[in-house]
Amino acid sequence: MIMKNISKYWLLFMIAAMSATSCSDDDNEKVVMPDPDPTTLGWVKQATEFGTLPEYISVYKSPTELEGMKAIAFIAVADMSKANFATIGDQIYSKTPNQIWQAEQQKYPIIMNGGYFVMGAGKSVSLLCREGEVLAVNSQEEIRSQKSYYPTRGIFQLSKNGSFSTDWAYTTADGVTYTYEEPSPNKSGYEPQPIPSAYFPARGVKLNAETAIGGGPILLKDGNVRNTFTEELFDEESGVAPENYHPRTAIGVTANNKVVFFVCEGRSVTEGVKGMNMAMIANVLKSLGCVDAMNLDGGGSTCMLVNGQPVIKPSAGAQRAITTAVALK
């Protein structure tokens, strides 16, 4: 009788232990919540306004106000388990978005302007990577008050392992591009930080991207608002005007691997629509579920085409020739 009771208690103990272990394993699993539905935030899905899109790409128009200001903005949201992300352009390249649409034989339903460039020269000053090859690099030196600064600027990359992320990057004099989890802590008007390397500002990781676009500043990283325009030297002197209202372009990715393209109108091309600043864009993209996001070239460059049709009015009255672009199909 005693032996039977011991066996019974031992069996109950083992079942309880297994249950506890099972619960513990479940608790340790990372739970990824569904991305917010943009329509619950006031965004309006564009069902037929721009023609037919693949079922895994959706376009939405913003509510009439974003972050407390009158707004005209659009997002394209792509499920990257089915969609393809591409970069277009070269180190020297100059085409308007419509010319790109035609040159690419209309194969990309979504095209958006990309990184920074030297106007007139058509020379990229932002990283461009396509099919694993780096075609252009982020600006390696910025001059402020006759001092040389070496900023680690943002990139948005699709790594060769299939994951999307924003990272701070720098290409060294020997042509190696490193990415970092934190930016070099530069600040205009203060003593410049050392030239980035394999070990500064932290241990660098050699770029392992299949596709990447440079820009900046990084707005979101690992779900947190970062907006590192100071460290990336995107100050007033850069022309980016991060705290002022302008047309803007940005790119992000959600926890569920959906890539988000964002553009907003500005400079009162539509009466009362001034545009947005970096902090506002970061908040909007976070509300849409983005965990990593980066600003791209804005102002007169800001443009998104959906099936070849522009979604916003260009601030300069006509499309600007750009050097790089990003696309979805």
Can you spell out the DSSP letters for 198-244?
SSSSS--EE--EEEEEE---EEEETTEE---TTTTT-SGGGT--TTS
Amino acid 30: pLDDT = 65
**What are the domain boundaries of the chain?**
1-31, 38-328
pLDDT of residue 17: 40
Sign of CA dihedral 107, 58, 154, 245: positive
| Pick from 215, 246, 244: nearest CA to 228 | 215
Q: Tell me, what amino acid is at 235? A: D
The pLDDT assigned to 118 comes to 97
Q: How far is CA 186 from CA 144, 204, 209, in A?
A: 11, 17, 25
Tokens 């232990």 found at: 17
What token pair was written down for 123? 């020379």
- What is the predicted pLDDT for the residue at 29? 58
| Per-residue pLDDT at 39 | 98
User: Measured between alpha carbons, how far is 183 from 31 in angstroms, rounded to an integer?
Assistant: 29
Residue ranges for the chain with pLDDT beneath 70: 1-30
Per-residue pLDDT at 10: 40
Quote the pLDDT of residue 252.
98
What's the pLDDT at 19? 41
Judge whether 227 and 282 are in contact, CB under 8 Å.
yes
User: Comparing C-alpha atoms, which of 210, 239, 251, 245 is closest to residue 111?
Assistant: 251
Query: For residues 246 and 110, what is the distance between their CA atoms, to the nearest angstrom?
Result: 22
Give the model's pLDDT for residue 123.
98
pTM strictly above 0.95: no
